[in-house]
């Protein structure tokens, strides 16, 4: 009876060892897959961060250009207004001279 009990206990312990070894192998495989996934996500995050930095730089440059063009547009609009005023004065002077000659 003692021999049968020892055999039964050994068999049960072997089954448990196999079960837990399989569980450990499965868990290790899952951990490895997750580690690869995290590494990939970290790499992707780094790539996105670099792209974001580039886009921020590009946006800053575009904003600086837009601001410069806006200032230039204001300057040109003022200059145009000045030219219109001068044109109006010269036109009135020309009309006045024509009326004087006639």
The pLDDT assigned to 59 comes to 98
How far apart CA 6 and CA 3 sit, in angstroms, is 5
pLDDT value for 37: 98
**Residue numbers in the chain where pLDDT is lower than 70:** 102
Token output for 35: 């580690």
Determine the pLDDT at residue 5.
87
pLDDT at 81: 97
| Per-residue model confidence as pLDDT tens digits over 45-74 | 999 999 999 999 999 999 999 999 999 999
Q: Residue 7: how many CA atoms within 13 Å on its side-chain side?
A: 4
Please, what is the Cα angle at 52 between 58 and 42, to 5 degrees? 155
From residue 3, alpha-carbon distances to 9, 13, 20 in Å are 10, 15, 25
């Amino acid at each position: 009876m003692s021999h049968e009990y020892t055999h039964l206990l050994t068999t049960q312990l072997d089954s448990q060892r196999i079960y837990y070894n399989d569980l450990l192998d499965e868990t290790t495989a899952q951990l490895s897959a997750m580690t690869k996934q995290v590494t990939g996500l970290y790499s992707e995050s780094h790539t996105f961060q670099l792209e974001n930095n580039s886009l921020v730089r590009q946006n800053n440059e575009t904003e600086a250009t837009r601001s410069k063009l806006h200032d230039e547009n204001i300057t040109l609009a003022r200059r145009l207004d000045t030219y219109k005023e001068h044109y109006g004065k010269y036109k009135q002077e020309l009309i006045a001279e024509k009326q004087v000659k006639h």
